[in-house]
Amino acid sequence: MTESPVAHEPVLVASLLRLMEFRPGQAVLDGTVGLGGHAAAILPRIAPGGRYIGIDADAAMIEEARRRLASHGGAVELVVGNYAELGEILERVGLEQVDHMLLDLGVNSAQLADAARGFSFERDGPLDMRYDRSRGERALDLVNRLSESELADLIYEFGGEGASRKVAKRICQVRHEGRITTTKVLARAVESAMGGGDRLHPATRVFQALRIAVNHELDNLRTFLEHVVDRLRPGGRLAVISFHSLEDGLVKRLIRRTVAEGRMSELTRRPVVADQHERAANPRARSAKLRVAQRV
């Protein structure tokens, strides 16, 4: 990461604070602490005596969050880890359950702005896209390893890209001439397969699909959701902010199932979305959906 990362404007803060009812002394688990934007808004509400456990898979984010949240002192405990491992992480900090949990999914502005991370097709850099750079395949490994039909399926399933077959074919033609290792080479391959005309840049959905696959985003969310209810204290609340329908669908189904089982009650029958003002001020807010449920 660069010396001073760009600001990350947290989304749906006012709705989150209204729906979660944070109280002094409560324990909160934030599975995606990022640059600590939501944390900074929540921490004053759980003081005095509160504990804020912030997890991020990206060690650089934890380092930055530590700096930004330093004024909150011992209330903040930051852990480099995967939120899917919430049980182990809670045990590590000596907690069985917490009062509230929060996930704000996906990539943050600082990661997108850092060309070396490879998340953005607008910046030339290595095609990496891992949140956790200590392990796992990079996007470039996937792009060069998968067969044409595997690539097409991935782009269709995780990106919802209707022209996935055309794009996969073009990627395979380009990599035939040499390994694809940078964001710009991939973005150009996608552009040349699809042309312009769409409101979205043609590479948007392809980059989203690769990011989801590289980081096993849906598997991690599924695993987290399987364990979340047991790790909430009675009356505790879960908030998830998602950015595409695959994530939101998983959250919606978990809530509906646990409501049917009598274990949770739903506090947002429809997902909460950003108002006009927030959408205009923060492009990331345009696709954000917040769902909140409470343990019975």
Ligand X SMILES: C[S@@+](CC[C@H](N)C(=O)[O-])C[C@H]1O[C@@H](n2cnc3c(N)ncnc32)[C@H](O)[C@@H]1O
Which residues form the interface with ligand X (CB under 6 A)? 8, 10, 31-32, 34-38, 55-58, 61, 82-84, 104, 106, 108, 131, 215, 220
Nearer to ligand X, 51 or 130 (CB): 130
Q: How far is the CB of 220 from ligand X (least distance, A)?
A: 4
Q: How far is the CB of 216 from ligand X (least distance, A)?
A: 8
Query: What are the Cα distances from residue 149, in Å, to 105, 127, 163, 165, 211?
Result: 28, 20, 13, 7, 18
Nearer to ligand X, 132 or 266 (CB): 132
Q: How far is the CB of 79 from ligand X (least distance, A)?
A: 9
Q: How far is the CB of 18 from ligand X (least distance, A)?
A: 17
Nearer to ligand X, 194 or 213 (CB): 213
Amino acid, single-letter form, for residue 119: F
Nearer to ligand X, 194 or 288 (CB): 288
Amino acid, single-letter form, for residue 276: Q
Q: At what angle do helices 148-159 and 204-214 cross, to 10 degrees?
A: 100
Nearer to ligand X, 215 or 258 (CB): 215
Q: How far is the CB of 59 from ligand X (least distance, A)?
A: 10
Query: What are the Cα distances from residue 184, in Å, to 23, 121, 180, 258?
Result: 47, 6, 9, 44
Query: How many other C-beta atoms lie within 10 A of the C-beta of residue 235?
Result: 11
Burial class (CB in 10 A: 0-12, 13-18, 19+), 236: buried
